[in-house]
A = this chain, B = another copy of it.
């Protein structure tokens, strides 16, 4: 007796995975779920792993790394390097944005500036580059930390 488990949300998650050519497995669903529900914008593989453990899920660290990398390839998440030495992942919500990062507390704010985007495009064009991606991070000290 199959109960109607699939909420609309879960169905759409299923589709995201299928659309990416990935089998719908428990670990993948749980990780996607966590990324969507977490209030943390950027999560490292370790963060994801630990939170899953706390939730009682038994998912290996290797799987977390593997799945996050696959999600990146599928365009479901974006990987950032910032200046920390390890990767953090952010759910791709379609809206490109840049980052402001507090070097004291780690706080991250997002922003977009159309003028900056335009200038970037024109610079790339001038130099004969076809843009595939770009990354703008402003490091500083936030209001609360001063």
Binding site for B on A (CB under 8 A): 79, 81-83, 85, 100, 102-103, 109, 111, 113, 115-116, 119-120, 123-124, 127-143, 146
Copy tally for this chain in the complex stands at 2
Output the nearest chain B residue to A128 by Cβ-Cβ distance: B143
Nearest Cβ distance between residue A47 and chain B, in whole angstroms? 18
A25, chain B: closest CB distance, angstroms: 27
**Chain B residues with Cβ under 8 A from A116's Cβ?**
115-116, 119-120
* Interface pairs (12), CB distance under 8 Å: A79-B83, A81-B85, A113-B123, A115-B116, A116-B119, A120-B138, A124-B140, A129-B141, A133-B138, A133-B140, A134-B136, A135-B139
B135 in contact with A140 (CB, 8 Å)? no
A121 to chain B minimum Cβ distance, whole angstroms, is: 9
Cβ 8 A contact of A109, one of B127, B137, B142: B127
Looking at the complex, which one of B79, B127, B141 makes contact with A132 (CB distance below 8 Å)? B141
Q: Roughly how many angstroms separate A119 CA and B109 CA in the complex, as a whole number?
A: 16
Determine how close the nearest CB of chain B comes to the CB of A117; give it in whole angstroms: 10
CB distance from A132 to the nearest CB of B (A): 5
CB distance from A146 to the nearest CB of B (A): 7
- Contact of A139 with B131 at beta-carbon distance under 8 Å, contacts A100-B123, A113-B123, A119-B113 already known: yes
